[in-house]
Amino acid sequence: MDPHAPLGFTPAVGDTDLTARQRSLLALARELGTSRFAPRAAQWDDSATFPQANYDDLREHGLLALCVPADQGGGGADFATYMLVAAEIGRHCGVTALTWNMHICSTLWTGVLADGIPMTDAQREEHHRRRALHFRRVVQDGAIYAQPFSEGSAAAAGRAPFGTTARKVAGGWVVNGRKIFASLSGAAHYYGILCTEDREGVKPDPRDTLYLAVPATSPGVTVSGDWNPLGMRGTVSRNLTFQDVFVSDDEQLMPRGVYHQGAQTWPAMFFTLAPTYLGLANAAYDFTVQYLRGEVPGEPPVKRRMYPTKQVAVAQMRIQLESLRSLFLRAVREARPAPSKDERMRLYAAQFTVMEGANDIARLAIRTCGGQSMMKHLPLERIYRDSRCGSLMLPWTAELVLDRMGRETLYEAGERDEA
C-alpha cells in the first residue's frame, strides 16, 4: 500500500492532517471494514456471537499488536493513531471496534500510557520486565485480552474499591470475585481485571487496585449468565466468576499501586470507547446519503433526495457529525498525562458529545430515511441499537460525565462547602 496515495475516502474522523502511517492504517481499516467486517456484521448481531472471523483478520494484518511498542515486535502506534483507526473500524462494525478497544487497552495502557505514569526506577524495571511477557503473547501467539472491570457497584465508576480481591501468596495472587458485562467472555485468552489487593486487616482502598491478567483457562474461572441485549450483541459481555484462582506474579499488568495513579494522571485512557461510536455516527450518516440517493446496493433505485425536509435533516446530521469529529479530534490531539483543567473539560465534553450524538444521528437517520430503511436486512436499525450503548459505558457514562463536569467546574480540587 502506497502511504502517499490519496486516501480516496473521507475517514470517520474527517479530512484532517494525517501521517503517512496513519493514512496507510486508515486505508487498511477501510479495506477490511468494507470487504469483511460490514458484510459480516448482521451475523454477530443475529446470533449474539463473538466476531471471531474478524479477529482472524485483525491478527493477520497485525492489528491485534497495533499498540505494542515497535521494539517489542508490535505496530508501535500511539494513542492518536489508535483512536483514528478504531473510528474507521467502528464505521463498519461497532462490535468489532468496541471489543478491539478492550483488547487494545491492555497493550496501550501498559505501553505508551504507562510510559507517562510516574514510577520509581524499581517499578519501571518490574513493569518493563512483566509487560514484555504480555506483548510477546499478543505478537507471537496472537492472544486476545479482555478488560472486565464492571461489578455492578460504584467501583467501575471510580467511586469505591473493587469487590474482586487478590490475596498475595508465594509466587503470585489468589483472586476471588465476580465481574459483569465482560465483553469477549469465552473468546479472550486473558482477562485483564481490576481488583483490590486484600491486605489482611486493612480496609479496602482504591489506591490498592491491582491490574492483573487472568489466563482464561485457569482453574476457578467460569463464564455464566445469559446475553440477549438491545445492541452490541456480538460483544458477548457475560459474567465472570473467579473462585480461588491462582495467577502468577508475572500476570501483573502494572506494578502495585500504579493503576490508581495512572487513572488520575491519564484521564484520556477512558476516552478510548468513543471512537467506536464516532464510527457508528458516520455509518448512520453514510447510509442516509446513500439511501436518499437511491444507491444502496440490492435496494430498488428509488431516490428520495428531492424532498426539502430530507435535505434539511441531512444537513442537520452533517452539522452534528462535524461537531462530533472536531471535538473528538481536538481531544485526541490534546491527550497527555496531567492535562490542564480546560483540556480535561474538553475531554469530558468530547466523550459526552460523541456518545450521545451518535445515537442522535442514528435516530435522525431512521426518521429521515423512513419505514423501509429500518428493515432487518439493512444496517440502520442495528446501528441505531448499537449506538444507544455508548452512553452506558463506565466510568464515563453520559450521566457521570455531566456530574464530573458540573462538580469540577464549580469546585476546585480540595474545595468543600461548610457544613
Residues 113-172 that bind ligand FAD (CB under 6 A): 147-150, 152-154, 156-157, 159
Which CB, 26 or 97, lies closer to ligand FAD? Answer: 97
AA identity, residue 344: R
Which CB, 102 or 329, lies closer to ligand FAD? Answer: 102
Give exposure, 380-398, as e/b (b: 16+ Cβ within 10 Å): bbbbbbbbbbbbebbbbbb
CB of 82 to ligand FAD, least distance (A): 17
Among 41, 188, 210, 232, binds ligand FAD (CB under 6 A): 232
CB of 159 to ligand FAD, least distance (A): 6
Helix (H, G, I), strand (E, B) or coil at 212: strand
Which CB, 180 or 374, lies closer to ligand FAD? Answer: 180
AA identity, residue 348: Y
Phi-psi region of 186 (alpha: psi -120 to 50; beta: other; left: phi over 0): left
Rounded Cα distance between 154 and 77, Å, is 32
Rounded Cα distance between 45 and 49, Å, is 7
CB of 26 to ligand FAD, least distance (A): 25
Among 29, 102, 253, 347, binds ligand FAD (CB under 6 A): 102
CB of 263 to ligand FAD, least distance (A): 14
How far is the CA of 372 from the CAs of 75, 298, 380, in angstroms?
A: 43, 13, 10
The reply to whether 280 sits near ligand FAD by the rule CB under 6 A is no
- The CB density around residue 313, as the number of other CB atoms within 10 Å, is 18
The reply to whether 235 sits near ligand FAD by the rule CB under 6 A is yes
**What's the grid cell of residue 339?**
492535562
Among 389, 391, 396, 404, binds ligand FAD (CB under 6 A): 389
Which CB, 315 or 392, lies closer to ligand FAD? Answer: 392
The reply to whether 387 sits near ligand FAD by the rule CB under 6 A is no
Instruction: Give the ranges where 48-185 is alpha helix by DSSP (H).
Output: 52-60, 79-90, 94-108, 121-141
Bridge partners of 211, per DSSP, are 194
Asked whether the beta carbons of 99 and 51 are under 8 A apart, the reply is yes
Which CB, 135 or 149, lies closer to ligand FAD? Answer: 149
Which CB, 45 or 360, lies closer to ligand FAD? Answer: 45
- What are the residues binding ligand FAD (CB under 6 A)? 102, 147-150, 152-154, 156-157, 159, 181-183, 232, 235, 237, 389, 392-394, 397, 399-400, 403
